Structure 1
Amino acid sequence: MKTYNSRTEVPIEETWNLADLYTDIDKWEKDFTKVENIIPELKKFDGAIHDGKSLYQYLKQSEQLSYTFNHLYAYCMLKADEDTRDTSSQSLLDRMKGLSVKFSGATSFFMPFLLSLDEDTLKGYIAEEKGLDYFAEDLFDSFRYKHHVLTSEQEAVLSQLGEALSAPATTFGMINNADIKFGEVTGENDEKIELTRGLYSKLIEDEDRSKRMEAYKAYYKPYIAAKNTIASTLSAAIKNNVTLARLRNYPSALEKALFGDKVPKEVYENLIKATKENITPLHHYTSIRKAKLGQDDLRQYDMSVPLVKGVKKEISYDEAYELMLKGLAPLGEDYVEALKEFRASRYIDVRETPGKRSGAYNLGVYGVHPFILLNHQDDLDSLFTLVHECGHGVHSKLSSQHQPQITARYSIFVAEVASTVNEVLMMNYLIAHEQNEELKKYLLNHFIDKFKGTFFTQVMFAEFEKITHELAEQGKPLNVEIFNDIYETLFREYNGPEVVFDEEVKYGWSRIPHFYRPFYVYKYATGFASAIDLATKIFEGDKQTLSAYLEFLKSGSSDYPLELLKKTGVDLTTPMPIENTLIRFKQLIEEFSQV
């Protein structure tokens, strides 16, 4: 696998084309000035909305401004992620954060105003101004927030605090992406090379245990060195969530996080409960892992190495893309053509380069197209990352094409369904078409490990979030020792008694960016459970499910997430999807234990 020392070495076709947003910085600056000048115009509506016409004018102007604002923000965010060390890009992003505060400050009056109206008055405004039909559903949905919106003065103060409240996440992002250095480790040819996150994901699967251990120790070393700083940022983030929930009159931070999607807290709690009640197959898999590795002790750096030796798949980016097109063919010709366009039109930034943001994501930009960030490593995991992010990308594309701006942006809750359906279809394709029996076993092992990471690990993270937020709500301290104790306890509960604990295990919480996005990770697990059901039916040729699923991808936020999923046949208000998922995992373990 080729490594790149700078972005200029990467082939142009493997970089995204930000000219689709702005062809040059002068055009960006022109739009920035335009938005900056129009924002005060929105503030003039404060106290000046007295009829349907003025209400429509405010909403229309606000939506138009949001359109341009989102393009501005997307450009500088994507630019900054190309190289987090680049101060000019960081400067643009800082300016946008400042503009965001001004924007939210100018519009902070609106929700308190709207919720001060009675329903009959709002209906009267809509009846007298035809243009308000477009906004009507959104306006009435806002009445759900009546008990959670403060006075206009209080909202204005909170909007001014926006940048300060996001500081813990920003600080962790800079520590994690720009400051953390892992040092050197031993590479394939026994030479010393700089450890990166992408390289770590390969070395932790290396058949040479000493290399796994070396990479593992090196990877955790800087996090442990920064443990107090990171604990402080995480504690601040959690306390901010709790404080905002109290200020807005929510029973808990969890219920505040679930409110927008209209998800009952029982869905979250039942996910954890059902998983822990059915954890035995995961413990069984840990025992199988220990036996197949033939080791006296099983440690965390042994948990990712493939159990089927000598068949590790090297997959170039070109191969990965072709495999994806074949694996996702059950989704139909239009879906596959959309994927081809992603590559031909340079929607994807492929390679890992120094300073580039770690991980992977999709950013849908309404009126343009999706942008996908990868750090491709030419292996099976990278194939699945590509497939996953393209699932988000097609979801963004179809929702933007079939929904107006107001409902084009889908909820994160349903986002993970679109990405995980792709992963399950891809795995089903690979297993079905593989002739080599050893490679089939390898893929089965990979599917189990993917299941473990996307479902069980995310449920464990979700429980960690629940416990830490509840401690903050009770006024109890949050520090390194507390985080360590909670994380270690959960890791033992989920992974079972076979794992011997190294000192690093309990610091697992310190490296998780998603903990700065409260109560997000459970959606990976619910999305995975939904996807198992949908992908199985689609792979088997169920035309009705396929049709319903494609409509789901076009639906954006035109209904609440649980309702959108019900239309595909998946009802997460019942325990059935979770229980079926856990049954499927048990079947996979039984199948693998016999090979």
Structure 2
Amino acid sequence: MQTYDSRNDVPEAEKWNLADIYTSVEKWEADYRKIEELTEELRSYDGKIENGNDLYHFLHKEEVVELLFKNVYVFARLSGDIDTRDTQAQSLLEKADQLGVKVNSATSFFTPFLLSLEKSTLERFIDEEPRLDYFKKDLLDAYRYKAHVLSKENEELLSRLGESLSSPIRTFGMINNADMTFGEVTDGEGKKVRLTRGMYSKLIEDEDRAKREEAYRAYYKPYVQLKNSIASTLSSAVKTNVTLSQLRNYPSALEKSLFGKKIPKDVYENLIKTAKENLAPMYCYTELRKETLGVTELRQYDLAVPLVKGVKEDISYEDAYETMLEALVPLGSDYINVLKEMKNSRYIDVRETPGKRSGAYNMGLYGTHPFVLLNHQDDLDSLFTLAHEMGHAMHSHYSNTHQPQITAGYTIFVAEVASTVNEVLLINYLLKNAKDKEYRKYLLNHFIDQFKGTFFTQVMFAEFEKKTHERAENGEPLNVDSFSEMYEALFQEYNGEALVLEEETKYGWARIPHFYRPFYVYQYATGFAAAIDIANKILSGDETTLRNYLEFLKSGSSDYPIELLKNAGVDLTRPEPVENALSLFGELIDEFSAL
């Protein structure tokens, strides 16, 4: 595996080209100042929108500011993420955050103003100014929020508090990425070295159980040490979300989260209910893992090691990219050609380096192109992560090139479909081309673990979020003990009694960044179920599904997400997609057990 002690050592071809956004910080600052000027112009419209012409000019200027701000913010964010210790980059991001608060404050008058209009007045404005047709859907849709918008003064007050209200997620991000120091592990030469996240992802899969346990303890050590600080941060995030939901007159924080996308509450609750009714295959797999590993007690550091030995392989980034391209051929030549261009044009930041943000993500930027962050480790997990993130990137590419700015962005609810379709196509390709029985068992094992992580673990997280928010809504305490009690009980329930819990298990909540984006993770599970349905139809040669799916990737937010998925052939208001996915999981367990 290729490792780098410095970002300067990474080949240019494997690093972002941020000059595609700004060629210098000076140009970034010029746009920053331009946004400040335009923001004051936007503020001047307060109380001055009297006809369709006024309304159009305000909305047009707001859209110009929105795109400029995204450029400013994304450049700062990407610059900071390549080295979270870089104080200059962090300063840019802090300035961008402050600017975002100013923009929100300057425009906070608009929604209360809009909802103070009679609907007939708004329709008259639209009739008298044809250019407002571009904004018509959003304008009329705003009336859904009438019961949840505060007075102009209160909306401005909340917008000014924006930076303070986002403090929990920023604080956890700095703890988790910049300040976190893991314990030590023993390297191949018997020396003690400081654990990194990249090392952990490898060591937790090591065949040597002692190495796995050592890595596990070293990884959890700082989270246990900082458990009180992180609990305070997470408690603040949950309580802030609950308070905002109450201020805006939503029945619950969950319903506030689902409202904007028109996701029925039943979709969330039925996902948890259906998953918990189908935990038997998970318990079977836990028992099978214990039996296969030959351990008297199955521990948490035994859950990631492959059950098939001797076939684990190194997969270089170059080989991973080529394998992904071959696996995604069913999506058509245009899809493949765009993927090749993304690699050649440096849309991807590939390698783990000191201080770099952990994990992986895609960030689409309208008018420019997507940017993908990886921490590639030359293994099968990294191959799947690559396919996953490039699915997001292709979704961004297609939506940004086929939709106007106003509908180009897509919601998280549909985002995970695009990424997971790629993963399902990849595993099918690998299984189809697996000539060796042991390698097929290895791949099945990998897909089962992936299924577990993307579906069951995310549903468990979703239930944890629901419980924590309900406790806050009921005025019950949220602290280390309550978080740990809830998390430990859920972890046991979802994994089965065959798993003996560690002391560290109960603190698993402390390491999850997604808990600072309320009610986000359930969409991994719904997206996974929808993706399995779509990918299997495409693999069966269903040309209609393929056409509908490619149109879905181009659709951005041109409709509500549930409707966009219905157009692609998946109805998540019904239980069948989730039940079908869980049925497949059972089949995978059966085949793996038989082999």
TM-score, with length taken from structure 1: 0.99
**Which one-letter code corresponds to 2:414 in the other structure?**
V
**Distance (Å, rounded) in 2 between the aligned partners of 1:146 and 1:205:** 52
- Alpha-carbon distance between aligned partners in 2 of 1:569 and 1:395, rounded to the nearest angstrom: 17
- Post-superposition shift, 1:69? 0.8
* C-alpha contact 2:529 2:578 (8 A) present in aligned 1: yes
Matching of residue 286 in structure 1 with residue 286 in structure 2: yes
What is the deviation of 1:541?
Answer: 1.6
Counterpart position of 2:320:
320
Task: Report the alpha carbon displacement of residue 191 of structure 1 after superposing the two structures with TM.
Answer: 3.6
> For the Cα contact (< 8 Å) 2:185–2:215, is it kept in 1?
yes
Structure 1 position 581 matched with structure 2 position 581? yes
2:82 matched to which residue of 1? 82
CA contact (8 A) 2:183 2:222 kept: no
Identity between Structure 1 and Structure 2 (%)? 65
What is the CA-CA distance between 1:437 and the residue it aligns to? Answer: 1.1
What is the one-letter code of the residue matched to 2:230?
A: I
Q: Aligned partners of 1:433 and 1:50: how far apart in 2?
A: 66
Q: How does 1:4-23 map to 2 (within 5 A)?
A: 4-23=4-23
Q: Is the 8 A contact 2:293 2:307 kept in 1?
A: yes
Q: Are 2:39 and 1:43 aligned?
A: no
- 1:413 maps to what in 2? 413
1:96 partnered with 2:93 = no
SS, match of residue 518 in structure 2: coil
Q: Distance in 2 between matches of 1:408 and 1:187?
A: 48
Instruction: Give the corresponding residue for 2:223.
Output: 223
Matched, 1:495 2:491: no
- CA distance in 1 between partners of 2:75 and 2:370 (Å): 12
Q: Distance in 1 between matches of 2:400 and 2:251?
A: 35
Amino acid at match of 2:111: M
How far apart in 2 are the matches of 1:149 and 1:531? Answer: 35
- C-alpha distance in structure 1 between counterparts of 2:324 and 2:252, whole Å: 42
Contact 2:245/2:252, CA 8 A, preserved across alignment = yes
Structure 2: 5+ residue runs without aligned partners?
Answer: none
What secondary structure sits across from 1:193 in the alignment? strand
- Which letter does structure 2 place at the counterpart of 1:307? L
The SS at the match of 2:355 is coil
Say which is worse superposed, 49-58 or 180-189, in terms of deviation: 180-189
Alpha-carbon distance in 2 for matches of 1:539, 1:382: 23
Verify the 8 A CA contact 2:183 2:221 in the aligned structure 1.
no
The CA distance in 1 between the partners of 2:83 and 2:194, in whole Å, is: 17
- Tell me the equivalent position of 2:34: 34
Where do 4+ consecutive residues of structure 1 move more than 2 Å? 187-194
Q: Does 1:305 align with 2:305?
A: yes
| Residue 433 (structure 1) aligns with | 433
CA distance in 2 between counterparts of 1:203 and 1:332 reads: 38
- Which residue pairs with 1:456 in the alignment? 456
2:185 is paired with a residue whose SS is strand
- The aligned residue for residue 53 of structure 1 is 53
Counterpart of 2:130? 130
Alignment of 1:146 with 2:146, yes or no, is: yes
Following the alignment from structure 2 to structure 1, what is the Cα–Cα distance between the partners of residues 94 and 567? 42
Q: Which residue of 2 aligns with 1:395?
A: 395
* Contact 2:359 2:375 (C-alpha < 8 Å) held by counterparts: yes
SS in 2 for 1:106: helix
Task: Look up the equivalent residue of 2:403 and give its one-letter code.
Answer: Q
Describe the SS at the equivalent of 1:557.
Answer: coil
Name structure 1 gaps, 5 residues minimum: none
* Residue of structure 2 equivalent to 1:176: 176
Aligned position for 1:481: 481
Distance 1:313 1:108 in 2: 54
Q: CA-to-partner distance for each residue in 1:181-205, whole Å, 9 max, x for gaps? A: 1132123444433211111011000
Indicate the residue corresponding to 1:569 in structure 2: 569
Which residue does 1:466 correspond to in 2? 466
Match of 2:167 in 1: 167
C-alpha distance after superposition, 1:156-199 (max 9, x if no partner): 00001100100011000000001111132123444433211111
- 1:89-122 deviations in whole A, cap 9, x for unaligned? 0111111111111000000000001111111111
Q: Deviations over 1:474-516 (max 9, x none)?
A: 0000000000100010011100000111101100000000000
User: Separation in 2 of the partners of 1:479 and 1:178?
Assistant: 24
CA apart distance, 1:214: 0.2
Structure 2 CA distance for aligned equivalents of residues 31 and 23 of structure 1: 12
Letter in 2 for 1:78: L
SS of aligned partner of 2:148: coil
Instruction: Determine whether 1:121 maps to 2:121.
Output: yes
3-state SS in 1 of match to 2:147: coil
Q: Secondary structure at the match of 1:451?
A: helix
Q: CA deviation at 1:538?
A: 0.9
Mapped to 2, the partners of 1:456 and 1:588 lie a distance apart of 15
Preserved contact between residue 451 and residue 585 of structure 2 (Cα < 8 Å): yes
Letter in 2 for 1:544: T
Q: Give the TM-score normalised by the residue count of structure 2.
A: 0.99
The DSSP-based 3-state class of the residue aligned with 1:477 is: coil
Q: Give the total of aligned pairs.
A: 595
Q: Partner of 1:111 in structure 2?
A: 111
User: What CA deviation, in whole Å up to 9, does each residue of 1:30-76 have, x standing for no partner?
Assistant: 11111111111000100000100000000000001111111010001
Aligned to 1:235: 235
The whole-number CA distance in structure 1 between the counterparts of 2:537 and 2:474 is 45
Q: In structure 2, what residue type is equivalent to 1:424?
A: V
Equivalent residue letter for 1:510: A
Please state whether the residue corresponding to 2:141 is helix, strand or coil: helix
Per-residue CA deviations over 1:213-261 (Å, capped at 9, x if unaligned) read 0000000000000000000000000000000000000000000000111
CA distance in structure 2 between the aligned counterparts of 1:215 and 1:584, rounded to whole angstroms: 33
> Tell me, what secondary structure is at the counterpart of 1:146?
helix
The superposition leaves residues 314-341 of structure 1 with CA deviations (integer Å, 9 ceiling, x where unpaired) of: 1000000000000111000000011001
Q: Residue 393 of structure 1 aligns to which amino acid in structure 2?
A: A
For residues 250-399 of structure 1, the aligned pairs below 5 Å read 250-399=250-399
| Partners of 1:523 and 1:188 in 2: CA distance | 40
Question: 1:294-324 deviations in whole A, cap 9, x for unaligned?
Answer: 1111000000000001101210000000000
Q: 1:211 and 2:193 equivalent?
A: no
1:511 is aligned to 2:511: yes
One-letter code aligned to 1:129: E
1:5 counterpart letter in structure 2 = D
2-structure distance, mates of 1:66, 1:101: 13
Partner Cα separation in structure 1 for residue 190 and residue 504 of structure 2: 25
Work out the CA distance in 1 between the residues paired with 2:501 and 2:370.
Answer: 42
Are 1:201 and 2:201 an aligned pair?
Answer: yes
**1:532-551 matches, cutoff 5 A:** 532-551=532-551
Q: Distance in 2 between matches of 1:296 and 1:476?
A: 39
Contact 2:261–2:561 (CA under 8 A) maintained in structure 1: yes
State the distance in 2 between where 1:204 and 1:242 align.
36
Distance of 2:67 and 2:520 partners within structure 1: 25
Letter in 2 for 1:216: Y
Q: Secondary structure at the match of 2:375?
A: strand
* Counterpart-to-counterpart distance in 1, 2:45 and 2:24: 33
Letter paired with 2:143: F
Deviation at 1:396, TM superposition (A): 0.1
- How far 1:141 moved relative to its partner? 1.0
